[in-house]
């Protein structure tokens, strides 16, 4: 019986009888003397007879091993079916060597058959019991023939079907002790009170006492611990005796490389050895992740028969070095190292960047995608399909093909085209859009371009002597308006008969350049062009037509149709209107008055006619002949410089 459990009605520590007394008790014949008060009267009549009884245990177990203290025997002789003839209990010294009984049993006939009940007890507890039938005949006592009664165990735990020793397959340090326990059940139902006997397969090397305490030897060994019940139910388990471990050393699994969060392909394996350099079984080895955020599958692993223990480990979420260790209490731990690499590329973590937030039209910026895994670790290898995109804003540009740099970065060139508000630069990774914060890129105007800049005039016509403004709007090659100055711009004119002078160029530092064109000679349209830093503007150029200016008395021309006129006859006086530079006017509108003065010729001048084509005329009628008179005119009250002479004859 286990030390912590006792059968009902019995102490947990039972008195231990000697082996010799129990053996003697179960092998000595018990004599039952059968007598009658009357003499036999003939065959079949009652009389005196004798009975020899030999109790036999049904199970061959050694009773002494269970600590039983058997101190009484009950004998009941029953005449069928219910007539108890004898029922007596005999108490004896458990250490006695023999036991003799004399019982009086009346016989009704000879021979007569009886039921025979035997019970071996320890105190009031029946431990073994057996029932059989026997014949008793009249005659002298005869011990040569005894009735064998098989006694079955009926004490605590009788009828249980299995027992189980714990711990299983254990290890015990040399020269130490180990206490084993045992549990029992009957067809799956737990039994709390029962007896067991303990033994080992080598009791000389490693004895075990009645309480299940095993004493380890001084040298390595392996054997079985056994337990058996009084009715022969048994169990056994292996026990290995080990020396004190002295070292734990890494055996394999170090130096591996794997992606973050994955399990390394090989387990970390160590061997625990003793001073004899042989492996030690049954030693708890604690595996731990130290740095790198990794994890172990089992925190404690027990060494096998050769002293090996191994555990699978998983890497953490951070790339780089990871460290692990395997330790045994009291010994220097065995270290392991591993390297965690980035996992699969993740569109949700990868990052897009641009080499500059602004870009001049025509220039190129570098778009970069840094590949990252799901935990934000930078990838160091390529292989993904990355396509850059732009969206939103008014800036436009062209994106070149993507270059896989093979180191986790992907690049493409963005060439600015149309300047405007910032556009957002994105990317797709294997078809999935990047969802991290995206950069923007604004295209600004590029360098001034003669091929894109525009020349304009404030007016397509200008009167001689008048002025207009020539303007160059600086633009880049893509037609974006330049908003800064700094270029050398020279205006020019060519073609046509109109002439004029062009003043110095003014740089307004906002992308515009101006100069003044002053009309001179009226004529057909002249083309206004410009050069930018020596390169001629090639966009469509405007033209300027110089028209005559305001009528000028200093340049207008007075003429007569005839220098002599008879008295009473007439001549036509004409003023051809001209502007200050001598351009012939082709429109009217001026106030012209012809006058004659000087000489002795006298005549009359009629009203002036404005022909609306730049000519004005009046009729001079001769009156008195004389010397030539000078004819001139006033234009808007100003006398002309030009004169003509008429002589009246």
According to DSSP, the residues that pair with 76 across neighbouring strands are 87, 117
Say how far apart CA 639 and CA 624 lie, in whole Å. Answer: 25
3-class DSSP assignment, residue 66: helix
Q: What is the mean pLDDT of the chain?
A: 89
Residue 98: what pLDDT? 60
Q: Above pLDDT 70, what percent of the chain?
A: 88
Residue 561: what pLDDT? 96
Mean pLDDT of 286-292: 97
Residue whose C-alpha is closest to residue 163's, from 5, 305, 8, 57: 5
Band of pLDDT at residue 515, cut at 50, 70 and 90: very high
Output phi, psi for 528, to 5 deg.
-100, 120
Quick: pLDDT tens for 414-460.
999 999 999 999 999 999 999 999 999 999 999 999 999 999 999 99
Quick: pLDDT tens for 23-38.
333 433 344 444 333 3
Mean pLDDT of 216-245: 95
3-class DSSP assignment, residue 473: strand
Say how far apart CA 214 and CA 226 lie, in whole Å. Answer: 11
Mean pLDDT of 541-557: 94
Higher pLDDT, 102 or 462: 462
Q: What H or E segment, with its residue span, contains residue 574?
A: strand 570-576
Residue 34: what pLDDT? 40
Residue 49: what pLDDT? 64
Residue 229: what pLDDT? 92
- Cα distances from 563 to residues 66, 74, 358, 568, 605, in angstroms, run 177, 192, 81, 15, 15
3-class DSSP assignment, residue 65: helix
Say how far apart CA 529 and CA 542 lie, in whole Å. Answer: 8
By DSSP bridging, strand 147-153 and strand 49-57 are: parallel
CA 156 to chain centre: 62
Residue 45: what pLDDT? 59
Residue 141: what pLDDT? 56
Q: Is the pLDDT of residue 314 over 90?
A: yes
Q: Could you tell me which residues come within 8 angstroms of residue 328 by beta carbon, excluding any fewer than 6 positions away? A: 245, 248, 272, 283, 284, 285, 286
Band of pLDDT at residue 350, cut at 50, 70 and 90: very high
Work out whether the CA dihedral 36, 42, 44, 49 comes out positive or negative: positive
Say how far apart CA 423 and CA 57 lie, in whole Å. Answer: 102
Band of pLDDT at residue 100, cut at 50, 70 and 90: low
Tokens of 2: 């286990």
Q: Is the pLDDT of residue 83 over 70?
A: yes
Residue 62: what pLDDT? 62
Residue 107: what pLDDT? 85
Say how far apart CA 203 and CA 65 lie, in whole Å. Answer: 13
Residue 1: what pLDDT? 39
3-class DSSP assignment, residue 235: strand
Say how far apart CA 105 and CA 589 lie, in whole Å. Answer: 181
Say how far apart CA 282 and CA 167 lie, in whole Å. Answer: 12
Contact 229, 165 (CB under 8 A): no
Q: Looking at 121-125, 369-373, 486-490, 544-548, which range is the least confident one?
A: 121-125
Contact 334, 311 (CB under 8 A): no
Residue 588: what pLDDT? 94
Higher pLDDT, 513 or 66: 513
| pTM confidence score | 0.62
Quick: pLDDT tens for 464-482.
999 999 999 999 999 999 9
Residue whose C-alpha is closest to residue 517's, from 533, 535, 505: 505
Band of pLDDT at residue 60, cut at 50, 70 and 90: low
Quick: pLDDT tens for 330-343.
999 999 999 999 99
Residue whose C-alpha is closest to residue 198's, from 153, 237, 169: 237
Mean pLDDT of 213-227: 96
Band of pLDDT at residue 20, cut at 50, 70 and 90: very low
Q: Looking at 80-84, 262-266, 378-382, which range is the least confident one?
A: 80-84
DSSP E strands in 445-536: the ranges are 454-457, 461-463, 467-473, 489-494, 500-502, 506-507, 512-519, 526-532, 535-536
Mean pLDDT of 102-112: 79
- Cα distances from 133 to residues 55, 80, 150, 294, in angstroms, run 13, 10, 11, 77
Mean pLDDT of 537-549: 95
What angle (nearest 5°) sits at the alpha carbon of residue 149, between those of residues 145 and 155? 155
The radius of gyration of the chain from alpha carbons, rounded to an integer in Å, stands at 68
Residue 23: what pLDDT? 36
3-class DSSP assignment, residue 304: coil
Q: Is the pLDDT of residue 14 over 70?
A: no
Cis peptide before 8 (omega within 30 of 0): no
Residue whose C-alpha is closest to residue 622's, from 565, 573, 574: 565
Q: Give pairs for 432-440: CB < 8 Å, separation 24+.
A: 432/347, 433/347, 434/347, 434/348, 434/350, 434/351, 434/352, 434/369, 435/347, 435/348, 436/348, 436/349, 436/350, 436/351, 436/352, 438/352, 439/352, 439/353, 439/354, 439/357, 440/354, 440/357, 440/393
């Amino acid at each position: 019986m286990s030390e912590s459990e006792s059968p009902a009605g019995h102490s947990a520590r039972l008195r231990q009888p000697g082996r010799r007394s129990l053996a003697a008790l179960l092998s000595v014949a018990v004599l039952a003397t059968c007598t009658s008060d009357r003499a036999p009267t003939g065959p079949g009549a009652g009389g005196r007879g004798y009975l020899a009884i030999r109790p036999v245990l049904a199970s061959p177990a050694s009773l002494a091993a269970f600590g039983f203290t058997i101190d009484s025997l009950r004998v009941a002789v029953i005449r069928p079916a219910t007539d108890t003839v004898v029922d007596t209990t005999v108490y004896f010294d458990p250490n006695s060597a023999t036991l003799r009984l004399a019982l009086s049993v009346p016989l009704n006939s000879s021979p007569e058959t009886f039921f025979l009940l035997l019970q071996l007890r320890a105190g009031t507890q029946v431990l073994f019991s057996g029932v059989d039938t026997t014949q008793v005949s009249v005659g002298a006592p005869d011990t040569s023939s005894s009735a064998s009664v098989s006694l079955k165990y009926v004490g605590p735990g009788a009828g249980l079907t299995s027992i189980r020793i714990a711990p299983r397959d254990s290890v015990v340090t040399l020269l130490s002790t180990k206490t084993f326990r045992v549990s029992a059940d009957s067809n799956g139902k737990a039994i709390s009170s029962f007896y067991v006997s303990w033994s080992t397969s080598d009791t000389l090397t490693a004895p075990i006492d009645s309480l299940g305490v095993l004493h380890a030897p001084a040298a390595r060994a392996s054997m079985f611990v056994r337990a058996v019940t009084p009715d022969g139910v048994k169990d056994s388990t292996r026990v290995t005796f080990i020396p004190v471990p002295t070292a734990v050393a890494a055996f394999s699994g170090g130096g591996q490389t794997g992606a973050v969060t994955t399990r390394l392909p090989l387990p970390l394996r160590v061997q625990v050895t003793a001073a004899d350099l042989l492996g030690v079984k049954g030693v708890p080895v604690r595996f731990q992740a130290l740095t790198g955020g990794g994890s172990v599958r089992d925190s404690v692993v027990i060494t096998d028969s050769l002293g090996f223990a191994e555990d699978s480990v998983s890497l953490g979420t951070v790339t780089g070095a990871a460290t692990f260790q395997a330790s045994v209490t009291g010994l220097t731990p065995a270290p392991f190292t591993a390297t965690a690499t980035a996992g699969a590329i993740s569109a949700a973590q990868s990052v897009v960047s641009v080499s500059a937030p602004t870009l001049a039209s025509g220039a190129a910026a570098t778009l970069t995608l840094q590949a990252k895994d799901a935990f934000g670790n930078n990838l160091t290898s390529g292989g993904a399909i990355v396509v850059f995109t732009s969206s939103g804003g008014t800036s436009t540009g062209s994106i070149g093909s993507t270059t896989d740099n093979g180191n986790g970065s992907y690049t493409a060139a963005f060439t600015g085209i149309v300047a405007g508000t910032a556009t957002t630069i994105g990317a797709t990774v294997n078809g999935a859009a990047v969802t991290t914060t995206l950069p923007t890129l604004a295209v600004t105007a590029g360098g001034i371009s003669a091929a894109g800049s525009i020349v304009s005039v404030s007016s397509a016509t200008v009167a001689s002597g008048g002025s207009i403004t020539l303007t160059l709007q600086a633009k880049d090659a893509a037609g974006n308006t330049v908003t800064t100055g700094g270029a050398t711009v020279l205006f020019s004119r060519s073609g046509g008969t109109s002439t004029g002078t062009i003043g110095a160029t003014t740089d307004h530092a906002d992308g515009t350049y101006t100069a003044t064109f002053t009309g001179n000679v009226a004529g057909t349209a002249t083309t206004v062009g410009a050069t930018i830093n020596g390169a001629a503007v090639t966009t469509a150029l405007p033209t300027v037509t110089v028209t005559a200016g305001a009528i000028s008395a200093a340049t207008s021309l007075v003429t007569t149709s005839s220098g002599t006129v008879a008295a009473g006859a007439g001549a036509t006086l004409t003023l051809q209107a001209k502007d200050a530079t001598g351009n012939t006017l082709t429109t009217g509108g001026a106030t012209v008055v012809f006058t004659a003065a000087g000489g002795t010729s006298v005549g009359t001048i009629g009203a002036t006619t404005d022909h609306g084509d730049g000519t004005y005329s009046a009729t001079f009628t001769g009156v008195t002949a004389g010397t030539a008179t000078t004819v001139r005119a006033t234009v808007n009250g100003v006398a002309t410089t030009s004169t003509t002479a008429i002589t009246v004859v």
